[in-house]
């Protein structure tokens, strides 16, 4: 395969050049056509990294736990990439924010690469640009990739489809568990992490989550029963245990054959969403420049919207 891109950017990325990595991710974000060629060249060198989706409401302290987790992986000489799509995360802002944990030490560590990405505005959303950024990080030598995300709903499902292991972080006393259950996010978590373990409600929160999981287990039994870990981002308490739970889940995925299944499904989703996003963009552009008449007919009630979309659909 011949080197793609300016000055063999892909080759430099594969040799572990951090500046090349930063430039490739910027090209991905800008949707530079060159990014596609670079992905094609680096893709055969990916697929071995451990990927972890870290999700939960804003303010739970995900970044502090991730920072602690990075420390533990670094102690084992593992290189860690973080793709943050949480706009409220200190990772996204590159700031310390008065946190007692010094995120900045990770920003300076050559074995850690942190990149925040906007969740909107690039092709394929989180499952698009961030996924490609993670591939680039892996090709550049990262052994562990952490996706940090926020909110409830669709976004989390996308993270789940991209990561091998999904950690759902909640905080005690905020009704988070009930909200997560209602929003359908609990079912995608492989591991629960209740942060702020020193909170008086922490143990109750654990019981609450366990009860919900037990009801779920009765309704639809699964091989894997998600562990519930109490952590403290400020002291690091419980984070070693969290890391072990992630390793156990990984071992379970490999032994049961679920890792392959999950990765195949994730790739299928990625390929379909990417193609869909391309088509959607094409349709939107066509509607903007060409099909104003069609929309005018819909607006004036002379044509219904389903028939209008069928016309566009058939003409693509």
Choices 70-78, 213-221, 227-235, 265-273; region in contact with a second copy by CB under 8 A: 265-273
Taking CB under 8 A as the rule, does residue 184 contact a second copy?
A: yes
Residue 63: C-alpha distances to residues 39, 171, 178, 226, 311 (Å): 28, 13, 22, 21, 47
**Of 137, 131, 165, which Cα lies nearest the Cα of 55?**
165
Nearer to a second copy, 15 or 88 (CB): 88
Question: Within positions 110 to 139, which residues make up the interface with a second copy, using CB under 8 A?
Answer: 132
Taking CB under 8 A as the rule, does residue 182 contact a second copy?
A: yes
Cα(67)–Cα(26) distance, integer angstroms: 24
Taking CB under 8 A as the rule, does residue 47 contact a second copy?
A: yes
Q: Where are the beta strands (DSSP E) in the chain?
A: 50-55, 80-84, 112-116, 144-148, 165-170, 191-194, 228-230
Distance in Å, CB of 209 to a second copy, minimum = 16
User: What are the strands of the beta sheet with 80-84, ordered from one edge?
Assistant: 112-116, 80-84, 144-148, 50-55, 165-170, 191-194, 228-230
Nearer to a second copy, 52 or 150 (CB): 150
Question: Within positions 145 to 164, which residues make up the interface with a second copy, using CB under 8 A?
Answer: 150-155
DSSP label of 8: G
Distance in Å, CB of 140 to a second copy, minimum = 16
Taking CB under 8 A as the rule, does residue 201 contact a second copy?
A: no
HSE toward the beta carbon, residue 71, CA cutoff 13 A: 18
Choices 96-104, 207-215, 240-248, 267-275; region in contact with a second copy by CB under 8 A: 267-275
Task: Write the interaction track for a second copy spanning residues 61-80; mark x where CB under 8 A is met and - where it is not.
Answer: --------------------
Nearer to a second copy, 212 or 308 (CB): 308
Taking CB under 8 A as the rule, does residue 30 contact a second copy?
A: no
Cα(285)–Cα(187) distance, integer angstroms: 37
Return the structure tokens found at 32.
């530079």
Cβ(21)–Cβ(145) under 8 Å? Answer: no
Taking CB under 8 A as the rule, does residue 310 contact a second copy?
A: yes
Question: Contact positions toward a second copy, by CB under 8 A?
Answer: 36, 39-40, 43-44, 46-47, 57-59, 87-88, 132, 150-155, 174-175, 178-179, 182-184, 263-264, 267-268, 270-276, 278-280, 283-284, 287, 294-295, 298-299, 301-302, 304-310, 312-313, 316
């Amino acid at each position: 395969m011949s080197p793609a891109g300016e000055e063999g950017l892909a080759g430099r990325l594969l040799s572990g050049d951090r500046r090349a990595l930063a430039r490739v991710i910027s090209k991905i974000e800008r949707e530079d056509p060159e990014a596609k060629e670079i992905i094609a060249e680096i893709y055969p060198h990916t697929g071995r990294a451990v990927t972890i989706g870290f999700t939960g409401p804003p303010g739970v302290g995900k970044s502090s736990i991730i920072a602690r987790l990075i420390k533990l992986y670094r102690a084992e000489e593992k290189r860690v990439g973080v793709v943050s799509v949480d706009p409220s995360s200190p990772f996204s802002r590159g700031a310390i924010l008065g946190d007692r944990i010094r995120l900045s030490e990770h920003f300076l560590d050559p074995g850690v690469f942190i990149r925040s990405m906007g969740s909107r505005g690039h092709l394929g959303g989180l499952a698009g640009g961030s996924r490609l950024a993670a591939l680039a990080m892996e090709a550049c030598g990262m052994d562990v990739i952490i996706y940090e995300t926020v909110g409830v709903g669709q976004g989390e499902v996308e993270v789940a489809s991209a990561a091998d292991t999904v950690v759902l972080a909640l905080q005690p006393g905020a009704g988070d568990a009930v909200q997560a259950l209602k929003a359908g996010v609990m079912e995608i978590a492989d591991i629960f992490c209740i942060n702020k373990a020193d909170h008086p409600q922490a143990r109750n929160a654990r019981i609450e989550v366990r009860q919900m999981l037990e009801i779920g287990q009765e309704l639809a039994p699964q091989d894997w029963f998600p562990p519930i870990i109490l952590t403290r981002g400020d002291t690091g308490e419980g984070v070693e245990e969290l890391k072990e739970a992630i390793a156990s889940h990984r071992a379970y995925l490999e032994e049961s054959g679920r890792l392959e299944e999950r990765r195949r499904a994730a790739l299928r989703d990625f390929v379909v969403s990417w193609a869909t996003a391309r088509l959607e963009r094409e349709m939107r552009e066509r509607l903007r420049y060409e099909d104003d008449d069609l929309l005018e007919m819909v607006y004036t009630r002379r044509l219904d919207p389903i028939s209008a979309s069928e016309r566009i659909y058939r003409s693509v």
